[in-house]
Amino acid sequence: MFYDVDLHSRLMLGTAQYPSPAVLAAAIEASGAEVITVSLRREGAAGQAFRDLLRQSGRRILPNTAGCHTAREAVTTAQMARELFGTRWIKLEVIGHADTLQPDPFALLEAARILCAEGFEVFPYTTEDLILGERLIEAGCRVLMPWGAPIGSGQGLRHEEALRSYRAHFAGVPVVIDAGIGAPSQAARAMEMGFDAVLLNTAVARATDPVAMARAFGTAIAAGRMAFEAGLMPRRDMAVASTPALGLADLGPADLGEALA
Whether the per-residue pLDDT at 248 is higher than 60: the answer is yes
Pairwise pLDDT comparison (63 vs 260), residue with the higher score: 63
Alpha helix positions (H), the chain: 21-31, 40-46, 48-56, 71-85, 105-117, 130-139, 160-169, 184-192, 202-205, 210-230, 253-260
CATH number of the domain enclosing 27: 3.20.20.70
In the chain, % of residues over pLDDT 90: 77
Residue-wise pLDDT tens digits, 6-57: 999 999 999 999 999 999 999 999 999 999 999 876 555 556 778 888 888 8
Q: Has 201 been labeled as part of a binding site? A: yes
Catalytic residue among 59, 91, 189, 225: 91
Is residue 27 one of the residues assigned to a domain?
yes
Is residue 25 one of the residues assigned to a domain?
yes
Give the DSSP H/E element, type plus range, for residue 61: strand 60-64
Is residue 118 one of the residues assigned to a domain?
yes
Is residue 242 one of the residues assigned to a domain?
no
Whether the per-residue pLDDT at 89 is higher than 70: the answer is yes
147 touches 126 (CB < 8 A): yes
SS3 245: coil
Whether the per-residue pLDDT at 194 is higher than 90: the answer is yes
Residues 6+ apart with CB under 8 A from 86: none
What is the extent of the structural domain holding 133? 11-230
Pairwise pLDDT comparison (45 vs 169), residue with the higher score: 169
What are residue 153's phi and psi, to 5 degrees?
-85, -25
Q: Has 261 been labeled as part of a binding site? A: no
Instruction: Output the average pLDDT for the chain.
Output: 91
Q: How many domains does the chain have?
A: 1
176 touches 208 (CB < 8 A): no
Task: Quote the pLDDT of residue 237.
Answer: 83
Is residue 71 one of the residues assigned to a domain?
yes
Give the mean model confidence (pLDDT) for residues 163-167. 97
27 touches 218 (CB < 8 A): no
Is residue 55 one of the residues assigned to a domain?
yes
Give the mean model confidence (pLDDT) for residues 198-214. 97
Told to judge if 190 belongs to the known catalytic residues of this protein, a careful annotator would answer: no
Q: How confident is the model at residue 247 (pLDDT cuts 50, 70, 90)?
A: low
Question: Model's pTM, two decimal places?
Answer: 0.87
Task: Quote the pLDDT of residue 101.
Answer: 87
Whether the per-residue pLDDT at 115 is higher than 60: the answer is yes
Is residue 251 one of the residues assigned to a domain?
no
Q: Has 202 been labeled as part of a binding site? A: yes
Task: Quote the pLDDT of residue 41.
Answer: 65
Is residue 87 one of the residues assigned to a domain?
yes
